[in-house]
């Protein structure tokens, strides 16, 4: 029994080492990904909830790994944060998104995700200003999406950085709203332009009738505070029909368009254009 225990422990150690090794290797590879041109932004449309017209595209990063294929940001953004690569990647994202938006046929906004550690480590207002100037893009074409976790480590600094972005004319969105546990208090810390209701709510729409009540209450709360409200993760016509009852400003989800490397007009948009 004792031997088996030791063997188990040794096996455990070996697999831990293998995992650590794999992570180090991925970190190593990620550190060269920008120079090797392996990072790419996909764009997903965000539409006006009343007219269905596209208003914004959210930039979502992908890593085209030579062996693993397309790696999800859910996998490599946390790695980038731990390996101190997030500042470089974040700067690349802002630059690339602004350069893309400057070439678009219409003045759609571009929405960029900024992770909490990037918010602390780099001067996001300076990066945004440089990217906007370089591409002759109006500041109000840029939206920065952050999650409430940005307030956890240094709330005063977060509010200061947000205020600077606001003074520049950049729009500010509170992402994944309702998924944390203290969302309400963060609405008092800074007046965002919009909140994006976390997609977990829409996913649970069919499961419980309370979900619709909660989504409705969040939308009302946002509107009563003078904020725009976006609902994320709308995948089906059934969900759309239910959500239509609630007066959202914007909607986002596979129903309107999946993230894609180039701007795409979806079936939904084509139907709207024909109507
Ligand atoms: P997020 O900001 O909440 O982005 C929305 C995620 O939901 C995206 O996943 C998008 O592809 C997905 N999505 C959109 N519509 C639907 C839908 O109808 N159904 C379902 N099931 N999913 C939908 P993605 O692209 O894998 O990104 C995941 C997360 O990674 C993002 O969540 C964001 O937190 C982070 N991320 C993405 N790009 C960047 C980036 O450039 N910088 C940073 N710091 N984080 C990023
Ligand atoms: Ca987002
Ligand atoms: Ca989100
Ligand atoms: Ca998220």
ipTM of the complex: 0.98
CA of 60 to the centre of ligand 1 (A): 6
**265 confidence band (pLDDT: 50, 70, 90):** low
**8 confidence band (pLDDT: 50, 70, 90):** confident
CA of 137 to the centre of ligand 2 (A): 21
CA distances for 61 relative to 11, 84, 86, 164, angstroms? 36, 17, 12, 25
Q: What is the pLDDT of residues 67-102, one digit of tens each?
A: 999 999 999 999 999 989 999 999 999 999 999 999
Answer yes or no: are the C-beta atoms of 116 and 146 closer than 8 Å: yes
Ligand of minimum distance to the alpha carbon of 233: 1
Q: pLDDT value at position 179?
A: 87
Higher pLDDT, 263 or 84: 84
β partners of residue 260: 43
What is the distance between the alpha carbons of residues 172 and 143, in angstroms, rounded to a whole number?
Answer: 6
Give percent above pLDDT 90 in the chain.
78
**263 confidence band (pLDDT: 50, 70, 90):** confident
Q: pLDDT value at position 18?
A: 87
CA distances for 128 relative to 116, 154, 158, 273, angstroms? 16, 21, 16, 34
Other CB atoms within 10 A of residue 210 CB: 9
Mean pLDDT throughout 20-29?
90
**142 confidence band (pLDDT: 50, 70, 90):** very high
Task: List pocket residues of ligand 1, CB cut-off 6 Å.
Answer: 44, 59-61, 72-74, 77, 93, 113-115, 175-176, 233-235, 252-254, 259
Q: pLDDT value at position 188?
A: 87
Listed residues: CB within 5 A of ion ligand 4: 176
| Closest residue by Cα to residue 144 from 174, 123, 164 | 174
What is the distance between the alpha carbons of residues 178 and 83, in angstroms, rounded to a whole number?
Answer: 29
CA torsion sign for 128, 133, 134, 136 is positive
**2 confidence band (pLDDT: 50, 70, 90):** low
pLDDT, the chain, mean: 92
Could you identify the atom of ligand 1 that is nearest to the CA of residue 42?
25
Residue nearest to atom 41 of ligand 1 (CA): 61
| Closest residue by Cα to residue 146 from 181, 171, 182 | 171
CA of 112 to the centre of ligand 4 (A): 12
With 70 as the cut, is the pLDDT of residue 275 above it?
A: no
Ligand of minimum distance to the alpha carbon of 58: 2
Q: What is the pLDDT of residues 157-177, one digit of tens each?
A: 999 999 999 999 999 999 999
Higher pLDDT, 181 or 51: 51
Q: pLDDT value at position 59?
A: 98
CA torsion sign for 246, 112, 105, 34 is negative
Could you identify the atom of ligand 1 that is nearest to the CA of residue 41?
41
Ligand of minimum distance to the alpha carbon of 44: 1
Q: pLDDT value at position 11?
A: 77
CA distances for 190 relative to 103, 121, 168, angstroms? 32, 20, 16
Q: Which of 99-108, 178-187, 215-224, 241-250 has the lowest mean pLDDT?
A: 178-187
Mean pLDDT throughout 117-121?
91
Residue nearest to atom 21 of ligand 1 (CA): 233
With 70 as the cut, is the pLDDT of residue 144 above it?
A: yes
With 70 as the cut, is the pLDDT of residue 139 above it?
A: yes
């Amino acid at each position: 029994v004792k031997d088996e225990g030791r063997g188990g422990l040794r096996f455990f150690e070996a697999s831990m080492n293998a995992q650590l090794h794999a992570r180090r290797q991925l970190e190593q590879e990620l550190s060269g990904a920008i120079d090797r041109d392996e990072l790419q932004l996909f764009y997903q449309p965000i539409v006006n909830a009343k007219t269905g017209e596209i208003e914004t595209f959210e930039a979502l990063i992908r890593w085209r790994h030579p062996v693993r294929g397309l790696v999800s940001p859910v996998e490599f953004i946390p790695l980038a944060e731990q390996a101190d690569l997030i500042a470089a990647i974040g700067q690349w994202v802002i630059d690339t998104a602004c350069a893309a938006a400057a070439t678009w046929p219409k003045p759609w906004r571009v929405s960029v995700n900024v992770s909490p550690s990037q918010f602390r480590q780099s001067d996001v207002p300076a990066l945004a200003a440089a990217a906007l100037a370089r591409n002759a893009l109006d500041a109000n074409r840029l939206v920065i999406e952050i999650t409430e976790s940005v307030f956890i480590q240094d709330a005063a600094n977060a509010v200061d950085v947000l205020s600077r972005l606001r003074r520049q004319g950049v729009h500010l969105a509170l992402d994944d709203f309702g998924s944390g546990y203290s969302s309400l208090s963060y609405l008092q810390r800074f007046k965002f332009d919009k909140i994006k209701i976390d997609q977990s709510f829409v996913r649970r729409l069919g499961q419980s009738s309370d979900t619709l009540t909660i989504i409705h209450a969040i939308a009302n709360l946002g509107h009563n505070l003078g904020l725009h409200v976006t609902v994320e993760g709308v995948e089906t016509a059934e969900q759309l029909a239910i959500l239509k009852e609630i007066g959202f400003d914007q909607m986002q989800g596979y129903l309107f368009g999946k993230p894609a490397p180039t701007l795409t007009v979806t079936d939904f948009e084509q139907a709207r254009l024909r109507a």
